[in-house]
Amino acid sequence: MTRTQVAIIGGGPAGLLLSHMLARNGVDSIVLERQSRRHVLERIRAGVLEAGTIELLREVGLGARMDREGRVHDGSGIAWEGKPHFFIDTRKFTGRPMMCYGQTAITEDLYAARDAAGGVVIDDAANVALHELTSDRPHVTYEKGGQTRRIDCDYVAGCDGHHGVSRQSIPASALRTFERGYPFGWLGIMSETPPYPEICYCYHSRGFALASQRSPMLSRYYIQCDLDASIEDWPDDRFWEELKARCPKGMADSIVTGPSIEKSIAPLRSFVAEPMRYGRLFLAGDAAHIVPPTGAKGLNLAVSDVFYLSRALTEALKAGRTHYLDGYSDMALRRVWSAERMSWWLTTLIHQFPNEAPFDRRMRENQFDYLLVSERAQASLAEQYVGLPFES
């Protein structure tokens, strides 16, 4: 049996960042991760950071490598088939910077910080179970090395993703879920090649495409694909050919191709669970919500959840004040729903939908035309894209 103040379920960026921030405020925690550290570090995820995420990482001592290796990102382009190229100028309309810096690198930075501080991160923790969550003495059990072990704690933070045990530990009667599935997925490829100079969304009659970035010699590209698509049907040559067919000629000619070092297919969906609290359990990140990757909001929402939750837990454990703890779910969900709306809107705008009515296609085209000519519409999108400020 072990005792800590906060048991954190999940050793991805959300759980590690929460542990790091709590430690800086004098709050003890133990992180339980069901996978190995190597597995966690091999996961390929998002890489576009909002202004608030950048500021927070610097504030908690995690900005040095990001500032050294990250790519400043002042907006994204939209290349609409047959129309002028359009740039979402976030710097112009908000004055706030964004950055391309991969989630894998952030996770590496967090592991290094927790190791340097002597933080407890238990990998390969099997059969994690949460107990007595509505009492003032919750505890967590798990298996490691053939033994069942127990952690007593004051609070449990569920940072273990969409398929983790945390949200599943909440009775269905105490949880409302909202979901929207999309009739397509993204086929993504990563290559050790110089990326296209800007992040660019491409709308084309063949389907959506995206040029993204990770580092000066690491590129990430996506194309819209059918939900039943198979990676085996998409060798590198076919992928590059299809990607370039969906991009304007000048853009296609400048894309540097190369062997893939990672390739994956992911379905798109929107998902929110309310509330993000059940007794002494608090959900954060993908455990509570999923956004389509179109708006680059997933990692940034996890960071804002952790900001709110670390502040709330610190206030409760160090000062005995529960104002932030009691308001955590409502405060976090306001930002979650704003990001869900923006991601849903952008996904709807620039993808091809099977069996779409001509009227709907015209409406989408008119939305883009309005965005192209209206500075107020551009400013609104830029404000959402760069990320709303954290609430005080």
Q: Which member of 196, 308, 328, 385 is catalytic?
A: 385
Residues 111 and 203 in one domain: no
Catalytic, 201? Answer: yes
CB 5 within 8 A of CB 29: yes
Q: Residue 365 corresponds to which tokens in the numbers above?
A: 């085209």
Question: Residue 82's CB: how many other CB atoms inside 10 A?
Answer: 9
What range does the domain containing 96 cover?
2-179+269-355
CATH number, residue 63: 3.50.50.60
Residues 159 and 189 in one domain: no
Residue whose pair of structure tokens reads 């609070």 in the numeric block: 155
Split into its structural domains, the chain has a count of 2
Q: How does pLDDT run across 115-153, given as a tens digit for each residue?
A: 999 999 999 999 999 999 999 999 999 999 999 999 999
CATH number, residue 189: 3.30.9.10
The three-point CA angle 64-69-73 to 5° equals: 105
Residue 371 CA to chain centroid, in angstroms? 26
Q: Which member of 20, 292, 293, 351 is catalytic?
A: 293
Q: How does pLDDT run across 46-77, given as a tens digit for each residue?
A: 789 999 999 999 999 999 999 999 988 888 99
> Is the model's pTM score more than 0.85?
yes
Residues 198 and 226 in one domain: yes
Q: What is the mean pLDDT of the chain?
A: 95
Query: How does pLDDT run along the chain (392 residues), one tens digit per residue?
Result: 899 999 999 999 999 999 999 999 999 999 999 999 999 988 777 789 999 999 999 999 999 999 999 988 888 999 999 998 889 899 999 999 999 898 889 999 999 999 999 999 999 999 999 999 999 999 999 999 999 999 999 999 999 999 999 999 999 999 999 999 999 999 999 999 999 988 999 999 999 999 988 777 888 999 999 999 999 999 999 999 999 999 999 999 999 999 999 999 999 999 999 999 999 999 999 999 999 999 899 999 999 999 999 999 999 999 999 999 999 999 999 999 999 999 999 999 999 999 999 999 999 999 999 999 999 999 999 999 999 999 98
Residues 99 and 215 in one domain: no
Q: Which member of 204, 289, 297, 351 is catalytic?
A: 297
Q: Which member of 101, 155, 201, 328 is catalytic?
A: 201
Catalytic, 293? Answer: yes
Helical ranges in the chain per DSSP H: 13-24, 37-42, 51-59, 64-69, 90-94, 103-116, 165-168, 236-245, 249-254, 298-314, 323-350, 358-373, 375-386
User: What distance in Å separates the CA atoms of residue 378 and residue 331, rounded to the nearest whole number?
Assistant: 26
Residues 263 and 273 in one domain: no
Residues 294 and 315 in one domain: yes
377 domain residue, yes or no: no
- Cis, peptide link before residue 358, omega less than 30° from 0: no
Domain termination residue (choose one: 235, 268, 301): 268
The pLDDT assigned to 338 comes to 96
Catalytic, 263? Answer: no
Q: Which member of 13, 20, 73, 222 is catalytic?
A: 73
Residues 251 and 323 in one domain: no
